[in-house]
Amino acid sequence: MHHPATAAFPVFSLPNDFSACPNITMNQAKRPRAEVSSQPRLYPDRVNGSMGYQSKVRVTDKYKVVGFISSGTYGRVYKALGRQGQPGEFAIKKFKPDKEGEQASYTGISQSAVREMALCSELNHPNVIRLIEIILEDKCIFMVFEYAEHDLLQIIHHHTQQPRHPIPPTTIKSIMFQLLNGCQYLHTNWVLHRDLKPANIMVTSSGEVRIGDLGLARLSYKPLHSLYSGDKVVVTIWYRAPELLLGSRHYTPAVDLWAVGCIFAELLSLRPIFKGEEAKMDSKKTVPFQRNQMQKIVDIMGLPTKERWPLLTSTPEYSQLPTLQPPISHGHHHHHGHHYQAQRQAGSVSQLEKWYYNTINQHTNSGPGPSSAPLASLGAEGYKLLAGLLEYDPEKRLTAAAALQHPFFTTGDPVSSNCFAGLKTEYPHRRVSQDDNDIRTSSLPGTKRSGLPDDTLARPLKRAKEG
């Protein structure tokens, strides 16, 4: 994987437009930066005045909480309205203070919260969720984000309801373009997201895609420093790239592009393409080989080979590959001699093309007329984009910038900046509970820390959303 061709250590200066694809008209309006309040704060304003860390403001003085959205290892997310004339709706993420064991002693702010605050304060792009402000109150951190009515998990789920019906191809194309555009911005600014999945991709009611939940994101401009050592396990397992499954310790933005490929496949088929079961750590906190997840990938992609992926043999878990079943003989264990070798060679053949065409040519009974296989219009270019994103070798995998230039986006229907454009139906709104909407309560049921050293280890278990 090659680093983006930008000046060394760029300072978040990518223009907020869809310039990667100049012949496609997208919304180029620059979004406002986060506002600076006149209240006292812990730190002076930065030169560009984009973010204030407020210590003398109570969250309930500025915002009226209207409901509870979700909870996770970090704390809880609430929906709110502004009390001081701020337009729009907000999602307030409340981080609970870190505690040692069962004692209520304050030990500081979790690594995950610090990362998310630091990165979100700097990022400013139409396809990345916007942080409005950070409020510190009673040793709790409140991150106030713009509110997004939908997320991809919710949209996919809606389409699985009877009668099951595919997501329209124009919607998929717009979501993919906006998602890749957000990824390109992050990667150009040396940020790896590392936890891309449908639940973390927000969609506003006006059809704008926003990458959310940067709690696992981190800067990648120190290539000699192992990004693996600090966190051990990163990325929800179904979206985890093969180089991570094989123990790679110096990974690159390519891990995010594999996850984008998995999301593309899930938008097409309405189910995770590689739905494995996670092997848990042992008592010594050693990370096990995720055999089941790797097998799910091999079943569709074939076995990786050093011809397809030259650096495969240098991955720490390379010796585990012979324990996997080739797709053509999956479930059979009677290999002998040269038959076994022939099976291995045949087993390296990818079944992805077959999977893709079976998926897009599925006929539906919903809707009148000849469009009984509505996804068929995505055609061969859709397969080529998917194959480029789900490339075993991270060096050969499409970058976000290259994917944005893919013919998939310039053939057929034009890309819209509103992924809901032309849709006759409206997606259901996010569920907001009224039962537990007191943002000031210190009790946080269901978020016990289980003695984990920091939030990142438990993160993959949550499906919480940012708003």
Residues marked active site are found at 195
Instruction: Classify residue 228 by its DSSP letter.
Output: S
Specify the residue for token string 């509110």.
147
Nearest to 439 by CA among 99, 75, 87: 75
Specify the residue for token string 């969720």.
129
- The DSSP bridge partners found for residue 68 are 78, 433
Q: DSSP readout, 88-141?
A: SEEEEEEEPPPB-TTS--B----HHHHHHHHHHHH---TTBPPEEEEEEETTEE
Phi, psi of 106 (to 5 degrees): -80, 125
Nearest to 211 by CA among 185, 241, 245: 185
Q: How many residues make up the chain in this entry?
A: 467
Rounded to 10°, the helix 291-301/352-360 angle is 80
Note whether 250 and 220 are within 8 A (CB).
no
Strand ranges across the sheet with 209-211: 150-151, 201-203, 209-211
Strand pairing category for 131-137 and 53-54: parallel
Number of Cβ within a 10 Å radius of residue 192: 23
